[in-house]
Amino acid sequence: MASDPFFDAPTNRDSYGITGDWRINDTFHLHATGAYALARAQGFANPANGEDRRGLGADLWTWAAILSAVDIFKEGAVLSVGGGQYVTAERVETLPGDLQSIDEDTPYIIEAQYKFPLTDGILLTPGFYVVINPEGNEDNNSIWVGALRT
């Protein structure tokens, strides 16, 4: 729902966010970010049937945190574990007859990766992530993905 709260109606958005980084010590670093957006419909979703959504609003939220450990097993290597909430529609103003007004459940992501330097210019980065409640619906199976980047 958060990706299209007004069913294809033109939309503008005011977004606010905060990001912080904390170097806990020489090994551990913490990064966190959060954001809020107020989306507003600007017109018709379907001019043919007269669905004027002008003025309807939606509250969208997201956040994430990542803990990294540097120089683990090798100088220049970085092990990171993190997670967060995908953009979620917590409130959506709707018209009578709309089937869904907010995301039913909150979608989350949990991820881990290990950047391993092979040479000065080449990194090998295995990792994985899991998306819980994809598309904001707990009835959807979690999505598991493994990745290997160079």
pLDDT digits (tens, 9 = 90+) for 43-63: 876 666 667 888 888 899 999
Distance CA 104, CA 136 (A): 6
Give phi and psi for 141, each to the nearest 5.
-65, 145
pLDDT confidence tier of residue 100, bands split at 50, 70 and 90: low
pLDDT confidence tier of residue 6, bands split at 50, 70 and 90: confident
Q: Which residue has the higher pLDDT, 93 or 45?
A: 93
The pTM score is 0.80
Torsion of Cα atoms, 42 then 46 then 47 then 52, to 10°: -40
Q: Is the pLDDT of residue 2 over 80?
A: no
Pairing of strands 28-41, 108-117: unpaired
